Amino acid sequence: MASVTNAKIIEALRESRGLVMVAARKLGISRQQIYRRIKDSDEVRAAIEEARDFTTDTAEAALFKKIAEGEAWAICFYLKTQGKDRGYVERQQHEHSGPEGEPLAVTVTRRIVKADAGGSA
């Protein structure tokens, strides 16, 4: 991999918006080679973080645009993920019952074990 420099990997990661497989294909190397370089190089690690942050910012901007356009799915998604402190929480309630709605029969078994002379149970 000596022929593929950090600079080339960084450029490929930026162009692929942080998608390692896409960058690897562009460079003709394996994903594992890029992951090793990310692990070994602060410069490459910073580049992939920056590329992924840019992609996240782009996605957030698109979401905010759809919110401004009044798209219900975007508003709902935003409130479910960012409005929890204001009570926008989706909850699921699970009810368990026996046959024909009867209460479940539950059996609790307790086993008491006497500790041996060494003090372990």
Cα distance between residue 52 and residue 4, in whole Å: 21
- Predicted pLDDT at 112: 84
How is the chain split into domains, by residue range? 6-86
- Predicted pLDDT at 84: 87
Of 36, 26, 25, nearest in space to 1 by CA: 36
Rg (CA), the chain: 27
- Predicted pLDDT at 34: 97
Q: How confident is the chain (121 residues) per 10-residue block, as mean pLDDT?
A: 85 96 97 96 97 96 98 95 88 77 84 72 52
For the full predicted model, state whether its pTM sits above 0.75: no
Q: Residue 102 carries which DSSP code?
A: P
- Predicted pLDDT at 1: 44
